[in-house]
Chains A and B, each alone.
Chain A
């Protein structure tokens, strides 16, 4: 491993050779020709088909499970329930973008004494084909004692509400726990200044309540997991995951195996957005394989994905904000109650820290509550928690601007955080692009244009997301022809093979095409955290940079050996020329990268660069979005006419993929704004568990999304990278809300702002 820390340096003033260009992605041909291997493509000799039996109830006690008829069916080789797993402790494990108690991880994978949401796994079978497996699950007899479901956070928080977990007590930030059990798993609070004094200073105060629905990430590839427990006690897993090491470190303790006994191969992934971090099928496939001695493949259909995998939280939120007539925001009070789903762990903490993050507001209080309800356990979803909390705060800010007769963009500029500003949670900003995004938006053709026509309106909103760093590893070998295979542990979701390889190429001074990135299994690369948190190009790129610097040092040493000089007299230039001292004849000695590569085998062997970085820092991301809409007043339908997304990328490594992330985030944000919702009946039955009725925007529902990349290099990264993947999902909902208000004069306080909701708020005249 590299021990010497390279000094991070901003290279903003330099002209890069590779960074900022748009090479064809290394994995592109396989993907467009269909050759790429996804989890469901796996087929192993003797492989069995698995199937999961799921709960028809949202909340029930399991009285008994009789698997005997299923076991007796010809072709069925194993049937398992929670009782077949080793008892899981309450130890806390790393689950990628968070932590969780192991016993709750197990109980979410397969229910123990209670089912806590419709679709909760109850039993699993392995059979010789999937028809038999389907028949077998129907033969499993489960007796339930049906309980009252808890479906709304406000109901769940009331004393006397039915409890999901008898052992759950409300945790406070000081570590104390409530005396009585509760559905409120935790409460957190961030404060700054004097709230009462701040509101007393305000000339205008606006308070609004908001409700948002659970929303799914909507990745096109359903979950899958194939496991083969070998005779030697090692376990192979092939799965669609954002974090192979997280799968390893979740499955190993559930089966009481050493991490060294478990090898996880991350297959190509058809989208994740945070939802493919938790394990669902992998532990079941592993135990079924252990029971049968044969490989077992489990796949979900779309209904299972929507019923039983983690969406983002639905919420109840309340925001009170005050400002002076000149637009100075004096105080903000934010109350956030987030659905965790069946087990604790909503993203309310991140939502709370983001809620007011773009603004320098002297007096603040932000309360967050993590509340369990009888819905699927939430998972990370692109900037987890921020689209909700910033929807609430940005919406109230827009209404304040409207009330004060101020330009909402100017009011944001007036209150914007800059370097040195401190958030209520204590974090102090370094160099950030908050103001730069607002300025770029202000100067954009979109903001400068006039919007005309009836029932049309324009809206704007700001967004903030932290981004994260954490651990990434890389290996790279220099081959004799000067090509460099690069070995990575990060699942490539948004083009990160290319963006990481480009940073290795930049550092070595070679072309992106000479680097050949590969994503490998957990035994073949050092520990690498999940592809998530907008961290992969940041931390993976940093690992590639360190790896390349390791190669540069070794190539300097090799050249010195060839030239029989001191390594300190050799320097590897950024132009990829290795220069040494003059030889006996007085001539300069130098190698190009390829010349030296050609001599490696005969001069002592190949060179392998290695790096493992673990960065606690990151580069905060800001975005400003502008949207024009037209509302059909007779049907309540909103058409998005024009959309401009402005975002600080730090340094855009591969601008096409930065633009793709911005546009993708907007598409998902507009989906949450307009139509995406988990539609439950009173019994807790999810009535729209299909992509027909869970309405994500299609290509016909969005205009071409204009993207404006702002580059304020992150001083905490060798190439100035900030994460780009998450922040663009944040501003769409409040921007669309403002545009609807601008169009028809109605402020919507619920997400989604569907045609039904808009009709209810307008011509149908409220509830």
Chain B
């Protein structure tokens, strides 16, 4: 591990200022479950950690009167899956946050951190994508908001500029008849990185027609994908074996993976379809 400095920011403005002054070697620190390991293993050059998890709005969970939700970027996973209202209205966030790392990691790890680590295999991001999350970013020029599907730009890369960090994530209220599900495939039953993962949110009307859907697959491209063709394959009709198969085929077609120690190209292309199918079926169960 290289020698690092640590600074605790008390406000968003102080954090931005510390990050700006720190330059390229400065890094926001939330739970640290990725960045501390990266510093220790010298896979990322870090000489200053700016701790953002003592800023109130960065660790807050707020439920809007309209059913919307705001989660501070550094809010640890266990607080998210332990929130009864989230479990009721946004169970897909429980899917994701309860399988990122083990119990000890979940005490520190956050959705904001998972997003900013920008791994193609991140288990938080597909759920954020299908929930239409908006990412609120603070920086030297004030605040801006980015749609989550536009946030990652490549493996370990994202839209954050120098001095910027993610403050919070905004989720619109799910419309009536909505259901969402996230699943990942790993060779074991815990403690693993997704070979492929997928999330679906869909909306059913009273007649069982799918009126709206978003489908995302991960670990099959440089960034988690929003697969519009997969959603289009099921919208406007009741779910059927044919429509689900068409959505699965669309996800497989959208997949552009690599072969590595976690999976092969054709395994991941195949799993993109399998997991799309499974998330559609299980999202529909939650919608019903």
Binding site for B on A (CB under 8 A): 131, 134, 634-637, 674-675, 679, 687-688, 692-693, 695, 697-698, 700-701, 754-756, 759-760, 763-764
Which of A134, A700, A755 contacts B187, CB < 8 Å? A755
Known A-B contacts A131-B1, A134-B1, A764-B270; A693 and B187 likewise in contact (beta carbons under 8 Å): no
Taken together as a complex, chains A and B put the C-alpha atoms of A763 and B274 apart, in Å, by: 12
Residue of B nearest to A763 (CB): B270
Partner pick for B2 among A131, A693, A695, CB 8 A cutoff: A131
B176 at the interface (CB under 8 A from A): no
Q: Distance (Å) between the CB of A629 and the closest chain B CB? A: 14
| Contacting residues, chain B, for A692 (C-beta < 8 A) | 191-193
Q: Is B5 an interface residue (CB 8 A)?
A: no
A698 to B187 Cα, complex, angstroms: 11
Fill in one digit per residue for B22-44: 1 if any A CB lies within 8 Å of its CB, else 0. Answer: 00000000000000000000100
B267 touches A756 (CB 8 A): yes
Q: Tell whether B88 is near chain A: CB-to-CB under 8 Å.
A: no
Complexed CA–CA distance, A695 and B191 (Å): 9
Chain A residue contacts of B190, Cβ below 8 A: 698, 700-701
Q: Is the CB of A635 within 8 A of B261?
A: no
A-B residue pairs, 4 tightest by C-beta: A700-B189, A688-B261, A679-B261, A687-B261
Give 6 A-B contacts (CB < 8 Å), ordered by A residue. A131-B1, A635-B271, A675-B188, A698-B191, A700-B190, A754-B187
Q: A679-B261, A756-B267, A759-B267 are known contacts. Are A635 and B185 too (CB-CB below 8 A)?
A: yes
Q: Which residue of B lies closest to A689 (CB)?
A: B261
Q: A-facing mask of B80-122, CB < 8 A → 1, else 0?
A: 0000000000000000000000000000000000000000000
Minimum CB–CB distance from B101 to chain A (whole Å) comes to 11
Say yes or no: A756 contacts B270, CB within 8 Å. no
Residue pair B266, A764 in contact (C-beta under 8 Å): yes
Tally chain B residues at the interface, Cβ within 8 Å. 23
Interface secondary structure of A, over-half rule:
loop
Q: Give Cα distance in the complex from A307 to B188, angstroms.
A: 22
In the complex, which residues of chain B have a beta carbon less than 8 angstroms from the beta carbon of A675? 187-188
Beyond the given pairs A695-B188, A698-B191, A756-B264, 20 more chain A to chain B contacts, judged by CB atoms under 8 angstroms and listed by A's residue number, are A131-B3, A134-B2, A635-B185, A637-B187, A674-B187, A679-B261, A687-B260, A688-B261, A693-B193, A698-B188, A700-B189, A700-B190, A701-B188, A754-B187, A755-B185, A755-B195, A759-B267, A759-B270, A760-B264, A760-B267
Q: Give the residue name and chain of the A residue nearest to B262 (CB).
A: A693
Closest to A635 in B: B185
Judging by beta carbons under 8 Å apart, are A695 and B1 in contact?
no
Asked whether A634 and B188 contact (CB < 8 A) given A693-B262, A756-B267, A759-B267, the answer is no
Chain A residues with CB under 8 A of B193: 692-693
Interchain CB contact under 8 A, B189 and A698:
yes
B263 at interface, CB cutoff 8 A: yes
Chain A's nearest CB lies how many Å from the CB of B281?
12
Interface residues of B in 178-192 (CB under 8 A from A): 185, 187-192
Shortest Cβ distance from A135 into B: residue: B2
Enumerate chain B residues within 8 angstroms of A755, measured Cβ to Cβ.
Answer: 185, 187, 195, 267
Give every chain B residue within 8 A of A698 (Cβ-Cβ).
188-191
When C-beta atoms are compared, the residue in chain B nearest to A677 turns out to be B261
What CA separation (Å) do A698 and B274 show in the bound complex?
25
Q: Which of A637, A674, A688, A754 has the most CB of B within 10 A?
A: A637
8 Å CB interface, B242-275 against A: 260-264, 266-267, 270-271, 274
Q: Is the CB of B263 within 8 A of A756?
A: yes
Whether the Cβ atoms of A764 and B267 lie closer than 8 Å is: yes
Asked if B274 and A634 make an inter-chain contact with CB atoms under 8 angstroms apart, the answer reads yes
Contacts of A636 in B (CB 8 A): 267
Min distance, Cβ A375 to any Cβ of chain B, angstroms: 15
The chain B residue with its CB closest to the CB of A634 is B274
With both chains docked as a complex, state the minimum distance between the C-beta of A687 and any C-beta of chain B, in angstroms. Answer: 4
Which residues of B from 155 to 209 have beta carbons under 8 Å from A?
A: 185, 187-193, 195
Provide the residues of chain A in CB contact with B1, threshold 8 Å: 131, 134
A700 to B190, CA, bound (A): 7
What separation, in Å, do the CA atoms of A687 and B191 have in the docked complex? 18
Q: Mark B1-22, 1 if CB is under 8 A from A, else 0.
A: 1110000000000000000000
